[in-house]
């Protein structure tokens, strides 16, 4: 069978997956290993392969206003092969039109970080003969294959269950949560001391700079300082004051953020653990996702055997987990 035109080198009928039943990712990996690139000069991804597989231009057609019409160029793919490729896409769950991509299914969306490439994992699903399989996949792996990132796909159901169980176990250990809050209080107190010290220094420097401007203006009015010299110096001092005032505002905001009064008490933490158990054991998926998004800070992944979640302790001012009563 003829190869497709130059902008898709190497995409023969066999590469369409109808002879060896290769998936879109396998085809993308093969093209990238052979040194081929897309028309934009980028590595092939499974999505760009699927775009080619679904392009009816290669059947000798053109699309106009949502309708397909015969084109003046000869077809490069026979209809039987093209339809076989479409059936394979649907069977393998690789057709983007039929694949369920509901992000609400993935409890840990946006929380999983790949330690290999630093990008986030994304949710994706594959339809098997009898079941639908959900995964979290590193964006680099999903987009460009193993040559871009050596990470592994993570079974979503298993990871969701494991992280929720770890979350429950962690907050059930109220001593751990109390240790965390004590550490936060200590860090906040240190940060507050540093910010207060710097804020006092900044305010002193603002007062001194304003006094210097007054002296220059007084000298100019007394006729002892030329206008050009006075103007340049006052302008420079005015810019310095603007910078100092901006830093003053930053420090004031940092001090407001370092307030520890909103941290939960031991009684609050015990109530939180009870709320988490109720959600994990009895609530619907939507509530579990809300819980995970509120209390999971991030999850670092090196391999399936090396997954490290980091949980966060909510303040008393935050909404309660999954819509329960507040702390």
At 81-97, the pLDDT tens digits run 888 887 777 666 555 44
Q: Say how many C-beta atoms besides its own lie within 10 A of residue 231's C-beta.
A: 13
Instruction: Assess whether pLDDT exceeds 50 at residue 10.
Output: no
Q: Is the CB of residue 281 less than 8 Å from the CB of residue 311?
A: no
Mean pLDDT computed over 64-73: 62
Lowest-pLDDT choice from 67-71, 72-76, 304-308: 67-71
* Cα–Cα dist 178/273, whole Å: 12
Beta strand spans in 30-111 (E): 61-64, 67-70
Q: What is the pLDDT of residues 258-301, one digit of tens each?
A: 665 566 777 888 888 899 999 999 999 999 999 999 999 999 99
Length of the chain in terms of residues written = 327
**When comparing pLDDT for 230 and 299, which is higher?**
299
Phi, then psi, of 308 in degrees rounded to 5: -125, 100
Instruction: Assess whether pLDDT exceeds 60 at residue 251.
Output: yes
* Cα–Cα dist 61/313, whole Å: 58
pTM, to two decimals: 0.52
Q: Say how many C-beta atoms besides its own lie within 10 A of residue 261's C-beta.
A: 7
**Domain 1-99 CATH assignment equals 2.40.50.100:** no
Mean pLDDT (the chain, rounded): 80
* Cα–Cα dist 165/142, whole Å: 27
Q: Is the CB of residue 166 less than 8 Å from the CB of residue 267?
A: no
Lowest-pLDDT choice from 11-25, 64-78, 264-278: 11-25
What pLDDT sits at residue 296?
A: 95
Q: Is the CB of residue 68 less than 8 Å from the CB of residue 75?
A: no
Lowest-pLDDT choice from 14-18, 226-230, 269-273: 14-18
Handedness of CA 160, 166, 170, 171 (dihedral sign): positive
* Cα–Cα dist 118/194, whole Å: 32
Mean pLDDT computed over 23-38: 80
Lowest-pLDDT choice from 15-24, 58-67, 88-97, 316-325: 15-24
Residue 314 has what DSSP assignment?
Answer: P
Q: How confident is the model at residue 161 (pLDDT cuts 50, 70, 90)?
A: very high
Mean pLDDT computed over 51-68: 72
Instruction: Assess whether pLDDT exceeds 50 at residue 26.
Output: yes
Mean pLDDT computed over 300-310: 95
Lowest-pLDDT choice from 11-20, 87-96, 131-140, 250-259: 11-20
């Amino acid at each position: 069978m003829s190869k497709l035109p130059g902008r898709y080198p190497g995409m023969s009928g066999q590469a369409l997956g109808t002879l060896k039943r290769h998936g879109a990712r396998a085809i993308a990996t093969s093209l990238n290993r052979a040194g081929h690139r897309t028309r934009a000069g980028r590595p092939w991804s499974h999505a760009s392969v699927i775009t080619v597989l679904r392009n009816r231009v290669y059947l000798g057609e053109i699309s106009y206003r949502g309708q397909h019409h015969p084109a003046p160029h000869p077809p490069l793919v026979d209809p039987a092969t093209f339809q076989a490729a479409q059936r394979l896409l649907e069977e393998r769950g690789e057709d983007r039109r039929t694949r369920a991509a509901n992000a609400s299914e993935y409890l840990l969306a946006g929380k999983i970080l790949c330690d290999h490439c630093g990008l986030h994992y994304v949710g994706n699903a594959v339809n098997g003969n009898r079941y639908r399989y959900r995964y979290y996949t590193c964006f680099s792996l999903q987009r460009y294959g193993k040559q871009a990132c050596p990470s592994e796909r993570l079974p979503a159901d298993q990871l969701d269950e494991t992280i929720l169980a770890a979350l429950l176990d962690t907050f059930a250990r109220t001593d751990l949560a109390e240790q965390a809050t004590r550490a936060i209080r200590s860090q906040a107190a240190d940060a507050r001391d540093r910010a207060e010290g710097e804020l006092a220094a900044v305010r002193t420097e603002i007062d001194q700079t304003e006094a210097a401007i007054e002296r220059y203006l007084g000298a100019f009015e007394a006729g002892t300082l030329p206008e050009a010299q006075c103007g340049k110096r006052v302008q420079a001092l005015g810019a310095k004051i603007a910078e100092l005032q901006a830093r003053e505002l930053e420090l004031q905001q940092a001090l407001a953020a370092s307030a520890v009064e909103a941290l939960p008490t031991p009684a609050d933490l015990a109530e939180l653990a009870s709320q988490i158990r109720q959600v994990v054991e009895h609530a619907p998926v939507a509530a579990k996702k809300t819980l995970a998004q509120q209390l999971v800070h991030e999850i670092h992944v090196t391999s399936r055997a090396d997954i490290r979640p980091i949980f966060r302790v909510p303040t008393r001012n935050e909404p309660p987990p999954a819509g329960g009563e507040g702390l």
